Amino acid sequence: MRRLTAVVAGRCPRCLDGRIWRGLFSMNEVCPVCGLRFEREPGYWTGAMVASYALGVPILVVLIFLVWLVTRWDVTFVLAVADGLFILVAPLVWRYSRIVWLHLDWLVDPVRG
């Protein structure tokens, strides 16, 4: 439960306390509380692309359904409007994809010390 709260709040996978993000589009290189280096190695964020897909597709499906429910437009217009709305939430998906990736990677292969 503490880990889930840390994921939602964007906290470090090791101490569950330090902020991962210091701004809307900028990450801390290391955890300000425990010193964990977030980007373990070059190419580390490639795994976050999978998390981004896993987060983004369900959100897009919900947006498509909601736009269709409200408007009952033709599918082409529904897809266009839903895609436009998705662009608005894309920065959040991007942020959370990195947070989710950090926590999943931590659960599989934690860095001690």
Contact positions vs Zn ion (CB under 5 A): 12, 14-15, 18, 31, 33-34, 36
Query: What is the nearest approach in angstroms of Zn ion to the Cβ of residue 37?
Result: 10
Provide the minimum distance between the beta carbon of 32 and Zn ion in the complex, in angstroms, as a whole number. Answer: 8
**Radius of gyration for the chain, computed over Cα atoms and rounded to the nearest angstrom:** 17
Structure tokens at 42: 């070059």
Closer CB to Zn ion, residue 10 or residue 90?
A: 10
Phi, psi dihedral angles at 102 (to 5 degrees): -60, -45
Residue 107: phi and psi, rounded to 5, are -65, -35
C-beta of 27: minimal distance to Zn ion in Å? 13
